[in-house]
Chains A and B, each alone.
Chain A
Amino acid sequence: MVAQPIKFYQTGSFAVGNRLLPPEQRSVQAAPDRANALTCGHRACQGCGEALGARYVVDAALRASGRQLIAVNATGCLEVFSTPYPETAWQLPWMHSLFANAPAVATGVAAALRAQGRTDVRVLGQGGDGGTVDIGFACLSGMFERNDDVLYVCYDNEAYMNTGVQRSGATPPAARTATTQAVGPEPGNVFGQGKNVPLIAMAHEIPYVATATVAELRDLEAKVEYAMSLQGARYLHVLVPCPLGWGSSSADTIRLARLAKESGLFPVFEAERGVITGVSKIRRRVPVDDYLRLQGRYAHLFGAEPRPDVVARLQGCADRNIQRFGLLDDEMEESGEVRQ
C-alpha cells in the first residue's frame, strides 16, 4: 500500500494517526513487539501526561539500544507512581536516588559502564521540571559540560505536582499554583524572565537538544531515536500536561499539549551543538485563549473579573516565541492567519 502525503486539515484534531502514515513512520507503540518499559498498573492519575511521555520515551530508547538501557530517575511523580513496591512498573534496570542528583547518578552509571567496557549499555536520566530546572539543575549542567554519555529527559508539567502543585522555575506566568495563588492584584505566578532549560542546554553546545510534547508522539519517538544514535550529553524537554495541577479534564491532556504548541506558547524544536536544526511549524495557529480556558490554573483570568490584560501579555509571550523560533510557515506568517 502506498501511503498518501498527509494533509493535516483532513483530521479534525490536526493529529496524525498511524493508519495515515507509511509503516516506517508509524509509532513504536503501534508495533506488536513494543518494549513496554513502563507497564500498566502504575499509579499515575487518569490522563497523566508524564506517564504517557515516559512510556514513549523509554520504549523508544529501549528499542534504539537493543534493550541495553539503564534508567536513573529523580524523585517525583514518575518515581512515586511507578514503584509502589513490591510492584514496579519498570521492565528495565531502574534506580532512584534523590531529587536533585539524577543527572549525577547517571554520570556515575555511565562512568562505571565505560570502565567496565560495556559500550553496548546506554544510560537514560529522567525527572520532572522541579528535579530538572530547579533543584537538579547544577548536576544537569555539570553532566552537560562534561558531555557524559547520558540522555536526560525532563517531563515538564510546569510545577511541583508530586508535593501538591507548587510553583517551579518552569511554571508559566499567571498560572495558579499552591504557592502562587490566584489572589491580589497580580494573581498567579509572576511574569519573570523564565528559565528556558532547552536554551540553556544549547548554550552548553551539547550534541543534541530537543523539545517535544505528548501530542506528537511520533515526533517524540523520532527525537529519542535520533538522540540515542548520538554519543555524549543529550537533552530532551517534553511538555506533559497534568490534569491535577493544571485543573484540566483528563480527556484534554493531548489536546492541551497540542494547543500549547499550536499557540506558540511551547515551541517545539531541535538543536545540535548549540544550533537550532529543526522547528515543528504551527499547523493551525490558535490564540492563547484556546489553551488557557481549558485549565483551572488560569480560571482567574476569565472569571467574574476577567483579566484580558494578562491574557494579552501571555499572547505576547506566544507571539515572541513564534517570531523567535520561526514557528509559522512563511505563507501563514504573511497572511497573518489566526483561527478565530
Chain B
Amino acid sequence: MSTPSPDQRQIEGSRGVAETVARCRPEVICAYPISPQTHIVEALSALVKSGELTPCEYVNVESEFAAMSAAIGASVTGSRAYTATASQGLLYMVEAVYNAAGLGLPIVMTVANRAIGAPINIWNDHSDSMSQRDSGWIQLYAEDNQEALDLHVQAFRLAEELSVPVMVCMDGFILTHAYEPLAVPDQEKVDAFLPRFLPRQVLDPGDPISIGAMVGPEAFTEVRYLAHLKQLRALDLIAEVSREFRDTFGRDSGGLVRSYRCADADTVVVALGSVLGTIKDTVDEMRTEGERIGVVGITSFRPFPFEAVSRALAVANRVVVVERAFSVGVGGIVTSDVRASTANLGTGRRPREYTVVAGLGGRPISKASLRRVFTDAIADRLEPLTFMDLDQDLVNGELRRIGASPRSGPTAENLLHELRVNARQIPERST
C-alpha cells in the first residue's frame, strides 16, 4: 500500500464515515446498534458527547423502527437528520423507511450491507438494501471507503435539494471494518458544498400546517408519480453533484455509473459495491491475456440510470451481472434493470446476459472464481443464472434428506452438520 498523502489518515471505514457525517453537521442522530454499522454510530456518539459536533442531539433509541421514526420527527421539524443501520435493522424499520420517502423527508442513512436471515448471518451481501429498492429512497453504492465517505456529503446535498431520503450503501465489514488511508472531507469545503438545510415543509407554531393526511384515489397516483419524477430529476442531479464534488474536493466520487476498460469490450461485467475492486483486478489480468473485457460499476441503483448503462454497454456482446443478492424464484435483481437498459440500445442487437450470484452471506469472492465464470461467459457456456462457488454436493445431500423423510429437519442446521461431519470447508477451488 502506498504512503498516505498529507490529507489522509489510516482509519477504519466506519470512523471515516462518522467523521464525514459529523462534518455535514446533522442536528439529530438516531442510533441503534446492529453489526456491521455499529462503529459508525459509536464514533458519532463520542463526537457529540465531547462537544466536537454541536449543536447535535444524539438519541439512543430502542429500535431501528424508532430510529427512523425519530429521524422523521427531526427532519419534519427542520433539522438535518441521520441514522445508520444494516440487515435486520433495515427490515425492522421498513414501515418508517417507506414513510420517510412518502413524506419526502431528506434523511440520510448509511446501510452497512449485510445478509438477511434466516439463517441469521452477520456477513456482507446486498439483500438488505435491495429489499428496499422500491421504497422511494435514492440508493448510492460505494465502491471503496473513500467513496463511502464522499457519498455522504453528496447524499445530504441530494436529499435536501430534492427533499428525498438517501441511503448510502457500503459493504459491511469489507468496507466498514477496513483500515486504510482515508481523506475525511475538509470542514470548510463541506460547509461550502452543503448549504444550510432549508426544509421544504416544516412543523412550525408560527405557521401551522398539517402533514400526513390521508390521501384517497383522487390524488394518490399523482403523489406517487411526483415521487417518481423526483427520482428522475435525481438522475441529472447525481451527476451534477458528483462533478461539483470533484471541482471542490479534487476527487472523483459518486455519479451514476463508472466504466472501466469498456471502450472496446466485447464482454462487460456489471456490479455494484466493493466487489468492483476484485472484478477490476480480474479484468486487468484477463486483459493482459488479450480478453476484450471491461467493467461497469453502478453507483446509483435508485434511481436506475438506464441511459447511462445503455451507453456503457453499447458495444458489448456479452454482459455478466455480478450480484450480491437475488430474488428468490427469479434470479438477478440488478440484471432485470440492466436487461431493460440493453433493450433500448436501438441497434436491434442485444448482448447475451448472464447473472452471477456471488458473495452471499459473506462468502469470499475470489479472483479465481470470478475468472472462471468470466471465462465461461466468454465461451458462452455459462448458465444464464449461476450461483458462484455453489457446493453442489452439500445441496444434493439436503435434497436427498428431504426426499427420504417427511421430517428431514431444519435445512440450515442439516447443512452445517454435514459440513462438520465431512470436515469440509467452503470450497477453495484452485484454478
Contacts and interface: CB of A to CB of B under 8 A. Distances in A.
The answer to whether A and B belong to the same complex is yes
A325 interface: no
Interface string A68-111: 11101100000110011100101111111110110011111111
Nearest to A72: B73
B69 A108 contact: yes
Contact of B59 (A83, A111, A141): A111
Contacts of B283: none
A340 interface: no
B204 interface: yes
Given A80-B214, A142-B62, A97 B69 contact: yes
B234 interface: no
B65 interface: yes
Interface stretch (B77-85, B349-357, B418-426): B77-85
Given A70-B77, A95-B76, A116-B78, A111 B211 contact: no
B137 to A, nearest CB: 16
B65 A112 contact: no
A178 interface: no
Given A98-B95, A112-B78, A70 B69 contact: no
B77 A113 contact: yes
Given A101-B65, A108-B74, A112-B79, A94 B210 contact: yes
B62 A138 contact: yes
Interface in A103-130: 104-117, 121
A73 B211 CA distance: 10
A79 B214 CA distance: 9
Among A85, A101, A139: residue with most chain B CB under 10 A: A101
A141 B74 CA distance: 19
Interface in B211-227: 211-215
Contacts of A148: 59
Given A104-B66, A108-B70, A138-B63, A85 B99 contact: no
B28 A96 contact: no
Among B62, B70, B72, B207: residue with most chain A CB under 10 A: B70
A67 interface: yes
12 contacts: A70-B203, A73-B212, A83-B212, A93-B205, A94-B203, A95-B76, A105-B70, A107-B61, A109-B74, A115-B56, A116-B78, A139-B65
Given A83-B214, A93-B205, A112-B81, 15 more contacts: A79-B214, A85-B214, A90-B208, A93-B204, A97-B96, A100-B65, A107-B61, A108-B71, A111-B57, A112-B79, A115-B57, A116-B78, A138-B62, A139-B66, A146-B60
